[in-house]
Structure 1
Amino acid sequence: MSRTAPTAASTQRETPSRKMSQNDHIYDEMFSAILEQRLAPGTKLSEDTLGEIFGVSRTVIRTVLQRLAHERIVQIHPNRGAFVSEPSPEEAKEVLRARGLIEEGIVREAVRRHSQADIAELRRSVAAERVSLNEGDHEAWVRLSGNFHLTLAKIAGNQTLAAYVKELVSRTSLIIVQYQKGNLSPCSCDEHTDIIKAIEAGDEGAAVTLMRAHLQACEDQLNLQEREVKGDLYSIFAKPSPKAEKLRGSL
């Protein structure tokens, strides 16, 4: 993150267009940090600290946080502040189902509208994914994996759908952090490659089937069981453990 951003005082003297550009920059930095899983779910986003990092006022930071909250990747709690969202298992399932519905339409449009330049861009994206995996660069892999889906949305030529996908991809990143069963699997690179081949061949049915299977595979790597409610100390120690009962009986 840049530490050479304008100070709060100079920001106030800038034109509205410059303010918007600055806000977009901070938003992009924070969005990327969440997408790349550098900001874990539940992380407190202090306005003072972020203002110092970016060299802006709390008002600017608050505007960015509200924008992220609107996209549901940040939660703002009255009297507590802003936190990176912690999706519930039910919310995670809803996000993944939404992606399935939206990305099915996107891949259909990509089959119909793609150019050879688009195919080349998708292949470069997957090649970069493989490099990041081989180098153990988890942050880069997460970003590039998400960018593959964002690129498909761009190829589909529908800005509204692209905006939805951007939000859902970032929320999926948070879901993976919370609910991933084990190590991330490199199989997504192969799945992305197969989708590209179907798009290039103009095989809409195969492309849709492959996208569905790809998103299902992502969901299958998650443990979306409802978490047990943590008991308080009173409830935990109200009933002695079996070991304690055995020791008591031997006294």
Structure 2
Amino acid sequence: MKKSSIEKTVYFRLRNAILKRQIAPGTQLVELTISKELDVSRTPIRNAIKLLSEEGMVDMIPNRGAFVANPTKSEVEQAYQLRLELELMAIRASLYKLDEEDFEEMCACMQEEKLALEAKDMERYLKANKSFHMVAVKKAGNTFLAEFLGVLMNKIDIYIMLFDSFFDNSPTTPKGPCEHLAIVEAMRSKRMEELERLVRIHVEHALESLRDRVREYKMPNEIFKELYGKKQ
């Protein structure tokens, strides 16, 4: 197998294990252990972990090693607070620039969200959700604001994948899609005060779904033995 294929295989196996919550937040990714269990050299493992770090799924701590991202409750709250303020800034700048084509794009994103929820496809849902919010952000015409919000939403998506409960066969339905519809209606009618209220509620509900679950996971006794079993 080519080096690039090995690296890609290791990357996807680690990434899937993290997203499926088979490896707990805060778990150290030990190259030697992974190397033995997957029967590959340490170089592709190191490169795969680096890619996961660039995505925000892994934290590289100097003199300690690589650990699955494990944000504190305070860090999660700070991320959402900053997202709220930046998004409100973007909406204020873009409200009177949004046209029917933009609203149609938002509605298409909402339809994609619905399909993703039905399929229980978290990554697809998060992609549609981000696309919905970024329509107004991009319309604001501030390159730095769009860049910062994009990076921040990517970070928040990692938190959602690590901690959100809906995709664990939860009987509850996310409030986001219905709230998105109300937000679009307020945008169409240019009701800024109502729009700000709706966005604040929307972000708070999103935060509520995570706040009580952060730090819920425990460190496992055995990581890759239990995860992968016998070598393929």
TM over 0.5: yes
Which residue is 2:188 aligned to? 200
Whether 1:101 and 2:89 are equivalent positions in the alignment is no
Q: Distance in 2 between matches of 1:122 and 1:106?
A: 15
> Are residues 62 and 180 of structure 1, via their aligned partners in 2, closer, same or farther at CA, if it must alter by over 3 Å?
closer
Q: Specify the code of the residue in structure 1 equivalent to 2:198.
A: L
Q: Distance in 2 between matches of 1:204 and 1:45?
A: 51
Which of 144, 147, 152 aligns to 1:168? It is 152
Whether 1:210 and 2:198 are equivalent positions in the alignment is yes
Contact 1:125 1:144 (C-alpha < 8 Å) held by counterparts:
yes
> Are residues 134 and 173 of structure 1, via their aligned partners in 2, closer, same or farther at CA, if it must alter by over 3 Å?
same
Q: Distance in 1 between matches of 2:161 and 2:122?
A: 12
> Are residues 37 and 161 of structure 1, via their aligned partners in 2, closer, same or farther at CA, if it must alter by over 3 Å?
farther
> TM-score under structure 1 normalisation?
0.62
Contact 2:187 2:195 (C-alpha < 8 Å) held by counterparts:
yes
> Are residues 179 and 87 of structure 1, via their aligned partners in 2, closer, same or farther at CA, if it must alter by over 3 Å?
same
Q: Distance in 1 between matches of 2:30 and 2:145?
A: 28
Query: 1 or 2 for the larger relative contact order (CA 8 Å, sep ≥6)?
Result: 2
Contact 2:83 2:149 (C-alpha < 8 Å) held by counterparts:
yes
Whether 1:221 and 2:209 are equivalent positions in the alignment is yes
Q: Distance in 1 between matches of 2:59 and 2:139?
A: 31
Q: Distance in 1 between matches of 2:151 and 2:30?
A: 19
Which residue is 1:123 aligned to? 107
Q: Distance in 1 between matches of 2:142 and 2:84?
A: 17
Structure of larger gyration radius: 1
* SS of aligned partner of 1:131: helix
Q: Distance in 2 between matches of 1:213 and 1:111?
A: 18
Post-superposition shift, 1:98? 0.8
Contact 2:95 2:136 (C-alpha < 8 Å) held by counterparts:
no
Post-superposition shift, 1:157? 1.9
Q: Distance in 2 between matches of 1:122 and 1:203?
A: 17
Post-superposition shift, 1:175? 2.4
Q: Distance in 2 between matches of 1:137 and 1:219?
A: 20
User: Alignment length, in residue pairs?
Assistant: 198
Q: Specify the code of the residue in structure 2 equivalent to 1:145.
A: N
Which of 129, 132, 144 aligns to 2:116? It is 132
Q: CA RMSD in A?
A: 3.9
> Are residues 177 and 113 of structure 1, via their aligned partners in 2, closer, same or farther at CA, if it must alter by over 3 Å?
same
Q: Specify the code of the residue in structure 2 equivalent to 1:205.
A: E
> Are residues 224 and 135 of structure 1, via their aligned partners in 2, closer, same or farther at CA, if it must alter by over 3 Å?
closer
Matches of residues 27-42 of structure 1 in structure 2 within 5 Å? Answer: 37=19, 41-42=25-26
**Cα offsets for 1:67-103 (capped at 9, x unmatched):** 54xxx65411235543442111111111111111111
- Gap regions ≥5 residues in structure 2: 36-42, 219-232
Matches of residues 43-122 of structure 1 in structure 2 within 5 Å? Answer: 44=29, 64=51, 67-68=54-55, 74-122=58-106
Q: Distance in 1 between matches of 2:213 and 2:26?
A: 19
Q: Specify the code of the residue in structure 2 equivalent to 1:120.
A: E
Post-superposition shift, 1:66? 6.5
**Cα offsets for 1:167-186 (capped at 9, x unmatched):** 22122223224443553633
Q: Distance in 1 between matches of 2:49 and 2:66?
A: 9
Q: Distance in 2 between matches of 1:160 and 1:167?
A: 11
> Are residues 37 and 148 of structure 1, via their aligned partners in 2, closer, same or farther at CA, if it must alter by over 3 Å?
farther
Post-superposition shift, 1:213? 0.7
